[in-house]
């Protein structure tokens, strides 16, 4: 017996069979959570290696090669060498959609590690002409490892994605050595956005002071602008027993330091936004009985308002010059704008808040006060809308008052925070792509 099928019946059978295969494929896909769980031990291994072998800003050559090696294993194409030691990897889905940038910083700090870990750093390097110990005292090792984990998971989810994801492994976030360029600003200058076309940037910073499992964020200004200043106080050298025959730049410097604190406490509207002026280095003199010719003061200015930033700069010039003049000395002030305010795009932040809540749970995603620390993620957020947030990494058994501080020899983080770090960035990618279909 010969059976004859009408064309529409045949089409129905073929379509139904195809839909069934697609549904079965979807059902067999491992979940995002399963992929993250499988990747977590790799992230811990990567982080421990990077922690044991940290490198200073613009000197992250071994770190660059290690990142490239892992990207090859993951199976993503990359380019290395932007801003000296940066690495940029891409995940192109071949389907139309947005171009999303994810960033991790790579550099360590000239700090001697005091934490008792089997993978504690014993590395040294040259900094400002001196041999110094090096440590990942701010969590950049974790940032790199988490982003590598995100790249690995998203690459396994490629069929579900659209557009392109750009993974930016950035050197010199802590600032390039004097006389050099570096970091986000140099990557942008060398064509990062022109070459890769990101329309949005996401980034996280691990925090030893926020409890593991929590995320802190803030719309608009989340971290301060950072400016460096040098004040050279010029006096007249004399014998320490006869100060009246010279002009003492040390006592003048002491008065300038006190005067600078009056700028913040008595001349700045702190109801508008906080501000900080701090002296970090004082250098002058060679021995106990010589009043020197010069003293150099080096410090930092932190502001969250651009108008206030400019006003404080003017007041520093005015205060230093007039205090010095009153003693017959001279004060030469140089102020260098380093990092702008790290600004979270308000609309983007509001829209992507649901993604952070999916990853951590709504009760664990909290609005924070602005921080007076600075971040060169701020340069990306001046180019395109950006969202930068903090990932908690303080073990729940450690009291908040006992948390170790960043940039200190005792800095320590909880590796149990890494899965949430991966999950939050992955969820941001998935939801942003879903909301920006062509």
How is 268-326 classified by DSSP, letter by letter? S-TTT--EEEEEEEEE--SSTTEE-SEEEEEEEEEES-HHHHHHHHHHHHHHHHHHHHH
Backbone angles phi, psi at 382, to 5 degrees: -85, -20
Q: Do residue 64 and residue 187 come from a single domain?
A: yes
Q: Are 299 and 279 in contact (CB under 8 A)?
A: yes
C-alpha–C-alpha distance, residues 17 and 406, integer Å: 58
**In-domain check, residue 316:** yes
Let me know: does 123 contact 55? Beta carbons within 8 Å.
yes
Residues 71 and 147 sit within 8 Å (Cβ to Cβ): no
Residue 50: count of CB within 10 angstroms of its CB: 27
- Provide the 3-class DSSP secondary structure of residue 198: coil
User: Rounded CA gap, 208 and 195, in Å?
Assistant: 35
Domain range for 301 = 225-339
117 and 184 belong to one structural domain: yes
Query: Which domain-ending residue is among 323, 339, 355?
Result: 339
Please report, for residues 110, 228, 229, 273, the alpha-carbon distance to residue 302 in angstroms, rounded to integers and kept in the order given: 22, 9, 11, 11
321, 339, 357 — which closes off a domain?
Answer: 339
Question: 364-415, pLDDT tens digit by residue?
Answer: 999 999 999 999 999 999 999 999 999 999 999 999 999 999 999 999 999 9
CA 10 to chain centre: 58
Q: For residue 14, is it within any domain?
A: no
Instruction: Count the domains in the chain.
Output: 2
At residue 366, the pLDDT reads: 98
The H or E element that residue 89 is part of is: strand 86-92
Residue with tokens 């406490």: 265
| CATH classification at residue 286 | 3.30.70.360
User: Which residues in the chain land under pLDDT 50?
Assistant: 1-5
pLDDT in tens, 205-255: 999 999 999 999 999 999 999 999 999 999 999 999 999 999 999 999 999
Residue 103 lies in a domain: yes
Within-domain flag for 140: yes
User: Last residue of a domain, which of 275, 310, 339?
Assistant: 339
Q: Which residues are catalytic?
A: 339, 415
CATH of the domain at 53: 3.40.630.10
**The pLDDT of residue 142:** 98
Nearest 5°: CA angle at 275, between 273 and 279?
A: 175
């Amino acid at each position: 017996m010969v059976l004859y099928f009408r064309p529409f019946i045949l089409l129905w059978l073929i379509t139904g069979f195809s839909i069934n295969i697609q549904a079965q494929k979807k059902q067999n896909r491992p979940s995002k959570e399963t992929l993250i769980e499988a990747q977590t031990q790799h992230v811990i291994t990567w982080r421990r290696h990077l922690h044991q072998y940290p490198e200073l800003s613009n000197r992250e050559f071994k770190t660059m090669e290690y990142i490239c090696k892992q990207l090859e294993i993951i199976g993503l194409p990359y380019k290395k060498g932007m801003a000296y030691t940066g690495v940029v990897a891409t995940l192109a889905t071949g389907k139309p959609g947005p171009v999303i940038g994810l960033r991790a910083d790579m550099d360590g700090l000239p700090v001697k590690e005091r934490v008792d870990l089997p993978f504690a750093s014993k590395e040294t390097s040259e900094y400002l002409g001196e041999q110094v110990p090096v440590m990942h005292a701010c969590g950049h090792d974790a940032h790199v490892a988490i982003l590598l984990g995100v790249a690995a998971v998203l690459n396994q989810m490629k069929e579900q994605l659209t557009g392109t994801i750009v993974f930016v492994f950035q050197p010199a976030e802590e600032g390039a050595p004097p006389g050099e360029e570096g970091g986000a600003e140099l990557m942008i200058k060398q064509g990062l956005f022109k070459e890769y076309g990101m329309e949005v940037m996401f980034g996280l910073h691990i925090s030893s002071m926020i409890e593991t499992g929590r995320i802190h964020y803030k719309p608009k200004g989340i971290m301060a602008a950072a400016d460096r200043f040098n004040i050279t106080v010029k006096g007249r050298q004399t014998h320490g027993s006869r100060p009246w025959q010279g002009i003492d730049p040390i006592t003048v410097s002491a008065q300038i330091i006190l005067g600078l604190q009056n700028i913040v406490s008595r001349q700045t509207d702190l109801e508008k936004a906080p501000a900080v002026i701090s002296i970090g280095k004082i250098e002058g003199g060679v021995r106990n009985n010589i009043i020197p010719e010069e003293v150099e003061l080096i410090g930092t200015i932190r502001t969250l308002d651009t108008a206030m930033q400019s006003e404080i700069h003017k007041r520093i010039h005015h205060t230093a010059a007039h205090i010095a003049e009153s003693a017959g000395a001279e004060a030469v002030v140089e102020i260098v704008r380093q990092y702008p305010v790290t600004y979270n795009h308000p609309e983007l932040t509001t829209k992507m808040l649901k993604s952070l809540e999916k990853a951590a749970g709504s009760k664990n995603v909290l609005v924070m006060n602005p921080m007076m620390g600075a971040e060169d993620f701020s340069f990306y957020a001046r180019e395109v809308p950006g969202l930068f947030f903090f990932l908690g990494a303080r073990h729940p058994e450690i009291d908040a008052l006992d948390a170790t501080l960043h940039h200190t020899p005792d800095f320590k983080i909880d590796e149990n925070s890494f899965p949430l770090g991966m999950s939050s960035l992955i969820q941001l990618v998935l939801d942003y792509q879903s909301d920006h279909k062509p």
